[in-house]
Amino acid sequence: MTTNGERQQLLDEAERFDGVAPFSEAFVRGLREDLGHVHVERRSDGELTGLAALAPDGSAELVVHPAVRRRGHGAALISAVLERTPEAGLWAHGNTTDAQETARAMGLEKVRELLVMELQGEDLRRAARPEIPAGYEALTYTQAVERWGRDAAEAKWLAVNNDSFSWHPEQGGWDEARLHRAMGAEWFDPEGVWFLLCGEELAGFHWTKVHTDGAGGVGEVYVIGLASPYRGEGLGAPLLSLGLESLVERGAEQVILYVESDNGPAVHRYDEMGFTVRESHVMYRKTAF
């Protein structure tokens, strides 16, 4: 029986070779926890050489050991995933040359691109100077719970999240259970979640993350959202800066974020603040049957 240690070793060796992790946080958690993921393996001479994971939402991720690539393992894993879910979306983190060639050979097309942008050094320190507009107030999650109580604070948070991400396949449609699962991550810090208030209304939130997996000094704009009535009011920049300041104060020397490549306004705003593109993650799908 394959152990989690074997699977993690495969992920680590692929990451060292490619320079990017083959599995995202949720899929790594799915190796340890029952998240409803289906796993498919490939073995060579008794060694684990390939692994695919299919999530309940139809997204999938896979990895092949660098030493045995271009021998059909990736195609076999993709075929196994598509046999179960023909319309599965397969993520290629870093969109490496190997991933592109395999996708082309399998007749898969790019249907989504997620950019990783980064900010560091003096650009980060300059951007981490929030100016809260008159009439607005910033509270941490802890302070919001003290004011409203946990249930009310989280209800406001969920309402803004689902309003902001009604279109998003992973971030939209959250309920209390989904929020609590995310808050259960080892790195979660209630002082790293910021709410921007207008009176007693929640205008927006910025959920930050400090990486605790050996990536010292790296912070992340984990989720940032504004409620519909407050968009177009110039609140995006101060809300972003509020979280950046919090990350710098907690030791971040570099901050990353993920953004859809076709979200032009967001990409433009991050570009104006000094963020640059570091990586590209592409989802491929079989579009012709």
- Residue 214 confidence (pLDDT): 56
Q: Give the largest Cα separation in the chain, rounded.
A: 66
236-268 residue pLDDT tens = 999 999 999 999 999 999 999 999 999 998 899
Residue-wise pLDDT for 179-194, tens only, equals 999 999 889 999 999 9
Strands of 89-93's sheet in order across: 38-44, 47-54, 59-64, 89-93, 276-286, 108-120, 254-260, 218-226, 201-210, 193-198, 136-140
Distance CA 215, CA 94 (A): 18
- Phi and psi of 227, rounded to 5°? -70, 150
What structural domains does the chain harbor?
Answer: 4-106 (3.40.630.30), 118-279 (3.40.630.30)
pLDDT at 217: 87
If pLDDT is split at 50, 70 and 90, which confidence band does 3 have?
confident
- Per-residue pLDDT tens for 47-69? 999 999 999 999 999 999 999 99
Tell how far CA 194 is from the center of its chain: 18
Confidence category of residue 89, pLDDT binned at 50, 70, 90: very high
**Is the pLDDT reported for residue 44 higher than 60?**
yes
Strands 108-120 and 136-140: unpaired
Residue (of 67, 48, 37) closest to 7 by Cα position: 48
Chain segment 135-161, per-residue pLDDT in tens: 999 999 999 999 999 999 999 999 999
- Sequence-distant (6+) residues with CB within 8 A of 47 are 65
Q: What pLDDT is attached to residue 170?
A: 85
Q: What is the pTM of this model?
A: 0.85
pLDDT at residue number 175: 96
Distances (CA, A) of 57 to 36, 82, 203, 239: 10, 14, 29, 30
Does residue 215 have a pLDDT over 80?
A: no
Banded pLDDT at 1 (limits 50, 70, 90): low
How far apart are the two ends of the chain, measured CA to CA in Å? 35
Q: What secondary structure does DSSP assign to 205-260, as a single string?
A: EEEEEE--SS-TTEEEEEEEEE-GGGTTSS-HHHHHHHHHHHHHHTT-SEEEEEEE
Name residue 117's beta-bridge partners.
Answer: 257, 277
